Structure 1
């Protein structure tokens, strides 16, 4: 689709050159019946140049390409109105360029919002210390949690204060829908529990949506915009606060040193499972971690609100861990499936692949 759009813009720019050619008398242009003066011919040339500049900026995915696109549309459309009899059909390409430019503007605005929110979140984190995790730090933990921290490679490593997780995923918004591909980046802070998760999901060649989940100061928020422009979800509230806290709790598998957080209480359930309760702000949430014989986390489950509506009910939310990789010397889950489960249905809605994790100072680079 990008190639077809670029071809359209290029041809649209070439057509504008006809006004320049006629205005300067370089060649007879039978398609244009109205007289064109040299100043007007120069404006047609300028419009063609701006359109070509827009095509180049769009191809290079420059973040300000939308601005050039809007300028090109305004200049072109003014000329089309002046020479409406000859040029009216060129309005159609301008409408398409306008639409694409508005979507690019929406992406720019959405990205700026995420960047500002991420910067504000990261400021709440303490400067990374040189203190490393030692065996004595594990004394108060349940035995399976101790084994997890040992096998993960966390011993001898500095505590994690900030993490950046780069993800690819397949998602379903409803159980019967087709799977959609997604790319996401998440920044998490552990001193003051919080995260910013931004995702872009391709629905088809024309439609996509940008999403941002946020957990900060004990409050959760979910924002989704169609093509980065049209809000379709903008949720916050107590149920979302609790659900987002439980999500943060489950995602501790990507930063194992959080198991030592003063905000956590642990309870041994068996030789291979432990219950964690996270208390932060005015909200408390719990979940159960299950471990295999090697000490790896294999599953996290919690009774979590599915949604934020007044009638939303707690359902079993499960993170099944399918595979592991090592990032910066720490072994963490790299492939995770998330499932909502109730007596009537089991719906796996997310298949997540972790591509990279960076910790502490590396997360900021």
Structure 2
């Protein structure tokens, strides 16, 4: 990705500098015999000076775009789009001499379009996130009492006690950031990812947004959403071409299981009347979430210290609803917002052909009721 950035900035600077030569030529400020100043329509002296100023304007915009991109300013692509429009108009006017500039403009158009499409995608997801959080019910301000844990299976009581739920208010909304790596096939390459996620505890819901890169240059953006009992998974190449746009009962079932498993980041949700706990043994208990058309269940496993260590469930693996064993593990735990939560782990499928680990995650930040 760094190589692509260097190439983009270099092309913007060189292209901008060439436009600056057009200004110098038009105003007679430099002897440039290789630039004959031919245009598709005749220009008088005044018009030539005006066009020269436009060459200067294009140069300034393209160089400013390079600076904005280096500074990682989100709207750099807007300046770039304006610069390319002005540049191509001048190229057409000076076509006999400047037609090669079209090649540079077409090359630069690709990252500008990608950045614009990605920004549009980010704004759409931000709207979904705002809707999710606006619909979230604010939980009672009274803290969780130890007596509320009395009827839970023993390992769940140990978990909630160690996590620090007792004496703290119930969670209503959660925001977290992640980083990690994912892959789409068992033998595929691992792709570095960054992700951001928001949760509503009541009603259950989340919006998870991920950014990654394929082949080090192709941005991939994705969003997994669960709201009002329904799930949707959307993945797009560069924000321009939808690769996945999946919904329906299998996605709903998987999204419910995902929400159920991720309550480990806001453990007071384990006390929700929507979740029923059934003991399995001294270290495990089954949670059943009732939301939407079909209840879902997952087995939570804890270590002797009361820390969550893994979750197992039968989750829809394919579009026809075929289910396979799904496993989430935790390998690190740290305090966030005065609660001890899992902060690193792995997600995998246990397929007949063997385990398929597809996501390794790490929590960077977690905010409870931000």
The TM-score bracket by the shorter chain reads: over 0.9
Say which SS state the counterpart of residue 297 (structure 2) adopts: strand
Matches within 5 A, 1:1-365: 1=3, 2-35=5-38, 37-307=48-318, 309-310=319-320, 312-360=321-369, 362=370
CA drift at 1:295 = 1.2
User: Aligned-residue CA RMSD in angstroms?
Assistant: 1.3
Structure 1: tracts of 5 or more residues without a match: none
- Structure 1: which 4+ aligned runs deviate by more than 3 Å? none
CA drift at 1:54 = 1.6
| Higher mean displacement: 248-257 or 37-46 | 37-46
Say which SS state the counterpart of residue 283 (structure 1) adopts: coil
CA drift at 1:341 = 0.5
Task: Quote the Cα distance in structure 2 between the aligned partners of 1:212 and 1:51.
Answer: 32
Count of residue correspondences: 359
Say which SS state the counterpart of residue 251 (structure 2) adopts: helix
Structure 2: tracts of 5 or more residues without a match: none
TM-score (norm 2): 0.94
CA drift at 1:343 = 3.0
Query: 1:170 touches 1:179 (CA, 8 Å); kept in 2?
Result: yes
CA drift at 1:128 = 4.9
Cα shift readout 1:89-134 (whole Å, capped 9, x = no counterpart):
1112211221111011011101100110000000111235421111
Task: Quote the Cα distance in structure 1 between the aligned partners of 2:217 and 2:112.
Answer: 14
Query: 2:26 touches 2:37 (CA, 8 Å); kept in 1?
Result: no
Task: Quote the Cα distance in structure 1 between the aligned partners of 2:273 and 2:170.
Answer: 13
Say which SS state the counterpart of residue 215 (structure 2) adopts: coil
Query: 1:31 touches 1:86 (CA, 8 Å); kept in 2?
Result: no
Task: Quote the Cα distance in structure 2 between the aligned partners of 1:273 and 1:221.
Answer: 30
TM-score (norm 1): 0.95
CA drift at 1:223 = 0.5
Task: Quote the Cα distance in structure 1 between the aligned partners of 2:76 and 2:170.
Answer: 42
